[in-house]
Homo-oligomer: A and B are copies of this chain.
Amino acid sequence: MSILNPKKELLTELKVIELLKRANLSITAPRKNILSLLLKEHGPFTVEDIIRRLPKNSCDQATVYRCLNQFVESSLVATTFLEKDIARFEFNDPEHHHHHIICKICKKIESLHDCLIDKIEQGLKKKGYQDIEHRLEFFGICAQCTKP
């Protein structure tokens, strides 16, 4: 627990435990560390980012992957794939479903607090972005797979 801000730390810890319980995940050190990290900073973070922020040598990278997959599975965490072969993770607040833009050159990532293509692209142009492209994919369960 931090010496500087014991109260806030404690609140985060309690919230993390509550979230893990609701997700039916047992309370372990790696899970608490990873989830509270994602709760404190917005992200999205690569696994490398996350390990860098975790207490040094506090857990294996396989554990980080396993925990993140479980969090995604139980909707605690959302994923983005802004660069090929690099998954990024952020805490999934269902009230604030949103998307991201990455700069094709410097790879800076920004979160967009909105979800309508044209409107977003107009806003991005005003912000100085050029050569904007988007990728939009849908995922669902088709009629055939619903029937039986």
Interface residues of A (CB under 8 A from B): 80-82, 84-85, 87, 99-106, 108, 112, 115-117, 120-121, 124, 127-146
Contacts and interface: CB of A to CB of B under 8 A. Distances in A.
A39 to B, nearest CB: 23
A30 B13 CA distance: 58
A104 to B, nearest CB: 5
Contact of A104 (B82, B87, B141): B141
Contact of A101 (B87, B103, B139): B139
Given A80-B137, A137-B99, A129 B104 contact: no
A15 B144 CA distance: 38
Given A84-B81, A117-B115, A124 B138 contact: yes
